[in-house]
């Protein structure tokens, strides 16, 4: 994809979703870190329902360590993989207290040391909590990037991130991250993408393939009608 095509993608998704933002509700870096950890293989909507009560009960790392693991598991049981996530939350809180003075670190290298925090979570925390430009590649960002040709179909998540960082101006990394998520979540969905109404269809390899059968089907009734007329 050349520069002008990349620019068109960025400008188009900016027009479509000018107010794209992190939809995980939080009031501080610590709550955001917990919310992103919980969001793995789970929708933001479900996470927000759970954290509405969770963040009332647990305000700081010490609170999560003051209850038995089984109690924390019950508090987040509506979240997928809740047992493993409960263990990670308590381990994360213990490390925050032991190594970082109870505060979420600002450095990427330190963030990924935390249990349950991978590269994506660290990028989300850095960009949304601390204002550091970053591109976090979740399932939506990966899918959209590959469909539009911003990344290769067989690229790993890390390769997708590196290609986006290279093509997108640094001061647009965070906004682009949110806009790609909104584009993938509300328009270019995994199962039923809105290809017929997509302003980026001409750049989308998969979209063109999806639309071809539709065009073919539309021509079949006309052909059948003509053949029927000839017989008559």
Residues whose CB falls within 8 Å of the CB of residue 115, separated by 6 or more in sequence, listed in order: 87, 88, 91, 92, 95
Other CB atoms within 10 A of residue 228 CB: 9
Residue pair 79/86 in contact by the 8 Å Cβ criterion:
no
The residue from 75, 85, 138, 146 that is catalytic is 138
Residue pair 12/204 in contact by the 8 Å Cβ criterion:
no
- Alpha helix locations (H) across 100-204? 108-111, 119-129, 139-148, 157-167, 173-186
To the query of whether residue 138 is one of the catalytic residues in this protein, the response is yes
Residue pair 122/138 in contact by the 8 Å Cβ criterion:
no
The residue from 120, 146, 163, 175 that is catalytic is 120
To the query of whether residue 120 is one of the catalytic residues in this protein, the response is yes
Catalytic residues, by residue number, are 120, 138
């Amino acid at each position: 994809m050349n520069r002008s095509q990349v620019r068109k993608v960025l400008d188009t998704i900016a027009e479509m979703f000018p107010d794209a933002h992190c939809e995980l509700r939080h009031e501080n870096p610590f709550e955001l870190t917990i919310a992103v950890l919980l969001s793995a293989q789970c929708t933001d909507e479900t996470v927000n329902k759970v954290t509405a009560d969770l963040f009332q009960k647990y305000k700081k790392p010490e609170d999560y360590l003051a209850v038995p693991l089984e109690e924390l598991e019950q508090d987040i049981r509506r979240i997928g993989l809740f047992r493993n996530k409960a263990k990670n939350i308590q381990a994360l809180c213990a490390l925050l207290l032991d190594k970082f003075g109870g505060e979420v670190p600002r450095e990427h290298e330190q963030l990924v040391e935390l249990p349950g925090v991978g590269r994506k979570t660290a990028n989300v925390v850095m960009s949304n909590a601390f204002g550091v430009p970053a591109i976090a590649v979740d399932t939506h960002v990966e899918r959209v990037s590959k469909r539009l040709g911003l990344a290769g179909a067989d690229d790993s998540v890390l390769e997708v991130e590196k290609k986006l960082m290279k093509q997108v101006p640094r001061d647009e990394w965070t906004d682009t991250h949110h806009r790609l998520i909104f584009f993938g979540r509300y328009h270019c969905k995994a199962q039923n993408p809105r290809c017929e109404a997509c302003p980026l269809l001409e750049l989308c390899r998969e979209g063109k393939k999806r639309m071809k059968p539709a065009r073919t089907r539309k021509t079949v009734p006309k052909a059948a009608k003509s053949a029927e007329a000839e017989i008559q």
